[in-house]
Chains A and B, each alone.
Chain A
Amino acid sequence: MRRSPEPKPDPMSASDLSSANRPSIRRSEAPSSGGSAAVDMDVAIAGHRRRMVRRVVLLVAFTLAMLAAGLADVVTGPSGLTLHDLWRAVLAPGEVDRTTAVIVWTVRLPYAVMALLVGAVLGLSGVEMQTILDNPLASPFTLGLSSAAAVGASLAIVFHLAPFGLPESWAVPTLAFLFAFGSVLLLQAMARLAPAGRETLVLLGIALVFSCHALVALLQLIAPEDVLQQLVFWTLGSVTRATWEKIGVLAAIFALVMPFSMAAAWSMTVLRLGEDRALSFGVDVRRLRYASLIRVSLISSIAVAFVGPIGFIGLVGPHIARMLVGEDQRFLLPTSAMVGALLLSLASVASKAIMPGIIVPVGIVTALVGVPAFVLLILRQRR
């Protein structure tokens, strides 16, 4: 069963069948001499390696950009701290005055870290949803996850619900999470009843968005005035709800989920070649879809529960990442997470710069930047 790439005497084979618009090495050199096939292979594999190296370089560059954006996020803010103050507050909190330490440790750092983390979660969730549902418009937002979270949060806020006797600061995110994650389980169960799973899930998701918006509007209508403001603010999405405990929870789950996503990278790559191909390569497509959906719904539900709905990062991030590194999911998954982190971190910087002295909820910023990006995306699709 040995098959070698050496040129065969058959004149119709290998060397003969080149693409029309790229001169082959074999053609420019002596045709079908024994060594040139080996040279061809080395050249091709070197080309393949260069593609890999380019992507690794991009990943490193994104890591640095992410750190830079995070740093900029920590530095910007209304209290006018210098870089030097920050540096000292981080390294030696005991040596700076209390106000500085409090600002850095309870405001600046948690906000900046939360922005990066939530961005990464949304970027990863978006790209996996788009791949497994074979739909470029899939994201935690468009599948109705954020809207369902808003219903849960609104219920908690309006009726002062405290499930499991939780303190109020945890009651709202807990209910938001339960609704978001529950909505995905419901969608999945409904889609299983229908014969065509993928399209059904996206359509049901959109239907869910509308129902949830109506429910939230109804709750706003009956909410007392003092609660209404709190309710509206929650639906805007903001990293100012960040605390170190929430960061810890989200980071732990993200660290738990990411390795499973990376382990499924090859299966997801070939799924992009078509479901039948993936199946014939031995991929259990149903299981892949189910596991991935549950995974990313879990992390994005937690993220949304903590910071509120933040649109477009999960939708646009994957598309930017795909343009940069292509469809090899070993690179696309981490890149998409990094693009998401970078985008949300930059949005967080912008949210402090738009109106001096006021932190505009970052959900507003991402939506404002996201809408033109979304339009561009649709226009590109029609190409």
Chain B
Amino acid sequence: MDQDISSGLVVEGVSLGYGRTPIIRDLTLPALRRGTLTALIGPNGAGKSTLLRGLAGLGNLTGSVRLDGEELHRLPRAERAMLLGFMPQSLPPPISLSVLESVVGSLRAGTGASSHSRAGDPVRRAYATLADIGIAELANRELSALSGGQRQLASLAQAVARRPAVLMLDEPTSALDLRHQTVVMREVARLTREHGLVTIVVMHDIALAARHADQIAVLRGGALRAFGIPREAITARLLADVYDIDARVETCSRGSLQIIVDHAL
């Protein structure tokens, strides 16, 4: 896989919004290299989900989004869908469809015949994805029989099964218990490194983000307020500035970053 410095995702002069009022205006991010995980954080209404949906091709985006130099939004729909994996914030509904079937659907719908010839039996591929995420046991269970957390894991499988080059996850751990939060973030980080993905994850848990992300992008009011490696980007001053909270950023006895919120400003 091409790992030179020019490869990766470049977001330049991007504007997005519903209707007439743009939520994000002329946003440019530093280049996101392949094999890195970027956590997108910020207060409610900062435009995180809007930005992620826009990058995934689900909004009216203007500006330039290039992957390895190629303008993504000029690609045909099916081709673009093969490159972009998106996990929406909403859980898959509890319908009478097995987890395996739902992942097979993600492989077979919309992408035309090219995806079939490319990688063999979709059922085997779907199962391999479930095994990777650690939910092989849920393969033949129906979504209607699963908990919210289990459905969120199924949703992750649906997003990664096509082996996209860019992986965009909108709050992938919001319905998960503490253990699964860690497991999922580790797995996402592993996929990112091993397959040279550009991964962007919208998160609310800053400590979790700091532990797993290579860099953190902080958004407020549709504008980028900070960007960098977690230890440098996350400061008490930034938290006060962006979240309007009085908080301490401390290093725990094992060296990981912890946020202690004292009160709201």
Could you list which residues of chain A lie within 8 angstroms of chain B, going by C-beta atoms?
A: 1, 3-5, 10, 12-19, 22, 24, 37, 40-41, 44-45, 47-48, 51, 195, 266-267, 269-270, 272-274, 276-284, 322-323, 326-328
Contact = CB atoms under 8 A, between A and B. Distances in A.
B105 A48 contact: no
Given A19-B150, A282-B109, 8 more contacts: A3-B132, A3-B194, A17-B133, A40-B136, A41-B128, A41-B131, A267-B110, A277-B86
Interface in B138-195: 138-142, 150, 155, 158-159, 162-163, 180, 182-183, 186-187, 194-195
B109 A278 contact: yes
B109 A41 contact: no
Contact of A51 (B98, B111, B134): B98
A276 B88 contact: yes
Nearest to B151: A273
B105 A273 contact: yes
Contacts, number: 160
Nearest to B95: A327
B139 A44 contact: yes
A5 B81 CA distance: 24
A270 B109 contact: yes
Q: Which of B84, B95, B136, B159 has the most CB of A within 10 A?
A: B136
B215 interface: no
A276 B140 contact: no
Q: Which of A18, A322, A323 has the most CB of B within 10 A?
A: A18
The size class of the interface chain B forms with chain A is 35 or more
A280 B88 contact: yes
Nearest to B80: A282
A157 B160 CA distance: 59
B101 A328 contact: yes
A200 B78 CA distance: 29
Nearest to B125: A3
Contacts of A15: 134
Contact of B77 (A14, A41, A284): A284
Nearest to A49: B123
A282 B77 contact: yes
Given A273-B105, A281-B81, A326-B96, A19 B131 contact: no
B5 interface: no
Contacts of A328: 97, 101
Contact of A280 (B56, B123, B180): B56
A17 B81 CA distance: 29
Contact of A282 (B82, B131, B139): B82
Contacts of A267: 109-110
A280 B84 contact: yes
Contacts of A41: 124, 127-128, 131, 136
Contact of B128 (A3, A274, A276, A327): A3
A14 B139 CA distance: 13
Nearest to A50: B140
Nearest to A20: B147
Contacts of B106: 270, 277, 281
Contacts of B123: 45, 48
Interface in B180-212: 180, 182-183, 186-187, 194-195
B220 interface: no
A19 B110 contact: no
A14 B134 contact: yes
B141 A19 contact: yes
B93 A273 contact: yes
Interface string B42-56: 000000000001001
A56 to B, nearest CB: 15
Nearest to B168: A280
B64 interface: no
Contacts of A276: 53, 58, 86, 88, 90
Nearest to A272: B95
Contacts of A284: 77, 110
A5 B128 contact: yes
Q: Which of A15, A16, A18, A45 has the most CB of B within 10 A?
A: A45
A195 B86 CA distance: 24
